A = this chain, B = another copy of it.
Amino acid sequence: MPTLLPRPTAQEFSDGEFDLTRDTALSAHPDLVQPAQRLQERLRAATGFVLPLDVSTTAPDSVGIRLDLDRSLAAEGFALETAPGAVRIAASTGRGAQWAVQALLQLFPAAVYRRSPAAGVRWAAPATRFTDAPKFPWRGAMLDVVRHFAPTRDVLRFIDLLAMHRLNTLHLHLSDDQGWRVEIARYPRLTEVGGWRPETQLGAAHGSAADGRPHGGFYTQDDIREIVAYAADRGITVVPEIELPGHAQAAVAAYPELGVGDSAPTTPWTLWGINPVIFNVEESTIAFLSDVLDEIIELFPSEYICIGGDECPKIQWVEDERTQERMRELGLHDEEELQSWFVSRIGQHLASRGRKLLGWDEILEGGLADGATVLSWRGRVGALTAARSGNDVVACPEDTVYLDYRESDLPSEPIPTGTVTTVEKAYSFDPVPAELDAEQATHVLGGQANLWTEHIDSMRGLDYRAFPRLAAVAEALWTTGDREYEEFAPRLAEHLARLDAAGVEYRHADGPRPWQERPGVSGRTRSVEEAAAHLARITANIG
Does A435 touch B at the CB level, under 8 Å? no
Q: Is A213 an interface residue (CB 8 A)?
A: yes
Known: A53-B50, A196-B515, A519-B212. A233 touches B156 (CB 8 A): no
Could you tell me the dominant secondary structure of chain A's interface residues? mixed
Decide yes or no whether A88 CB sits under 8 A from chain B: no
Distance in Å: Cβ of A118 to nearest Cβ of chain B:
6
A207 within 8 A of B: no
- Verify if A397 is at the interface (C-beta below 8 Å from B): no
Q: A50-B53, A151-B503 are in contact. Are A115 and B458 (CB under 8 A)?
A: no
Q: Mark A492-507, 1 if CB is under 8 A from B, else 0.
A: 0000000011010100
Is the pair A503, B152 in contact by a Cβ cutoff of 8 Å?
yes
The reply to whether B214 and A514 form a contact with Cβ atoms under 8 Å apart is yes
| Cβ contact of A196, chosen from B157, B225, B514, cutoff 8 A | B514
Identical copies of this chain, number: 2
Query: Distance (Å) between the CB of A150 and the closest chain B CB?
Result: 10
A195 CB contacts on chain B under 8 angstroms: 515
In the complex with contacts A153-B157, A222-B501, A229-B514 CB distance below 8 A: no
Contact with B along A181-209 (1 / 0, CB 8 A): 00000000000000110100000000000
Q: Is A117 an interface residue (CB 8 A)?
A: yes
What distance in Å separates the Cβ of A281 from its nearest Cβ neighbour in chain B?
Answer: 31
Interface residues of A in 84-125 (CB under 8 A from B): 111, 114-119
Contact of A534 with B by CB under 8 A: no
**Cα-based distance from A119 to B37 in the complex (angstroms):** 19
A10 CB to closest chain B CB (Å) equals 34
Interface size grouping (class) on chain A: 35 or more
Assess the A520–B50 pair: CB atoms within 8 A: no
Cβ contact within 8 Å between B213 and A460: no
How many Å lie between the Cα of A37 and that of B51 in the bound state? 12
Contact pattern, A 225-251, Cβ under 8 Å of B = 1, otherwise 0: 111111011000000000000000000
> Within 8 Å CB of A513, what residues of B?
196, 216
A232 — which chain B residues lie within 8 A by C-beta? 116
- Of chain B, the residue at the smallest CB distance from A110 is B222
CA A458 to CA B20, docked complex, whole Å = 38
Q: Which residues on B sit within 8 Å (CB–CB) of A520?
A: 212
Query: Please, how many angstroms separate the alpha-carbon atoms of A500 and B213 in the complex?
Result: 24
Q: Check A217 for interface membership: any CB of B closer than 8 A.
A: yes
A151 touches B460 (CB 8 A): yes
On whether the beta carbons of B518 and A225 are closer than 8 Å, the reply is no
Answer whether residue A215 sits at the interface, using C-beta atoms and an 8 A cutoff: yes
Q: How far is the CA of A117 from the CA of B501 in the complex (A)?
A: 27
Select one of B156, B222, B227, B505 contacting A151, CB under 8 A: B505
Say yes or no: is A44 at the interface (Cβ < 8 Å to chain B): yes
Query: Does the CB pair B226–A118 fall under 8 Å?
Result: yes
Residue A41 interfacial (CB < 8 Å): yes
A517 contacts the other chain (CB 8 A): yes
| Given A50-B53, A153-B157, also A116-B230 (CB < 8 A) | yes
Cβ–Cβ contact B156 & A216, under 8 A: no
Q: Within 8 Å CB of A153, what residues of B?
A: 157, 503
Contact B226 A116 (CB under 8 A): yes
- Residues from chain B with a CB closer than 8 A to the CB of A157 are 153
Are B116 and A233 in contact, with the CB atoms below 8 A? yes
Would you call A33 an interface residue if the criterion is a C-beta within 8 Å of the partner chain's C-beta atoms? yes
Q: Which residues of B contact A118 (CB under 8 A)?
A: 222, 225-226, 229
Q: Once bound together, how far apart are the Cα atoms of A111 and B229, in whole Å?
A: 13
B515, A229: Cβ atoms closer than 8 Å:
no
Q: Which residue of B lies closest to A211 (CB)?
A: B211
Residues in B neighbouring A114, C-beta threshold 8 A = 222, 226
Q: Name A111's contact: one of B37, B222, B460 (CB within 8 Å).
A: B222
Q: Is the CB of B519 within 8 A of A216?
A: no
Asked if A517 and B50 sit within 8 Å, CB to CB, the answer is: no
Which residues of chain B come closer than 8 Å to A111, judged between CB atoms? 222
Cβ contacts under 8 Å, A517 to chain B: 214
Smallest CB-CB A-B distances: 3 pairs: A216-B515, A116-B229, A116-B230
Q: List 27 A-B contacts (CB under 8 A).
A: A37-B44, A41-B41, A50-B53, A50-B55, A115-B230, A116-B225, A116-B226, A116-B228, A116-B232, A117-B229, A118-B225, A118-B229, A151-B460, A153-B157, A153-B503, A196-B513, A196-B514, A196-B515, A212-B519, A212-B520, A213-B518, A214-B514, A214-B516, A214-B518, A216-B514, A217-B505, A223-B503
13 additional A-B residue pairs with CB within 8 Å, beyond A114-B226, A115-B156, A115-B230: A37-B50, A41-B41, A116-B228, A116-B232, A116-B233, A118-B225, A118-B229, A151-B459, A151-B460, A152-B503, A212-B519, A216-B515, A223-B503
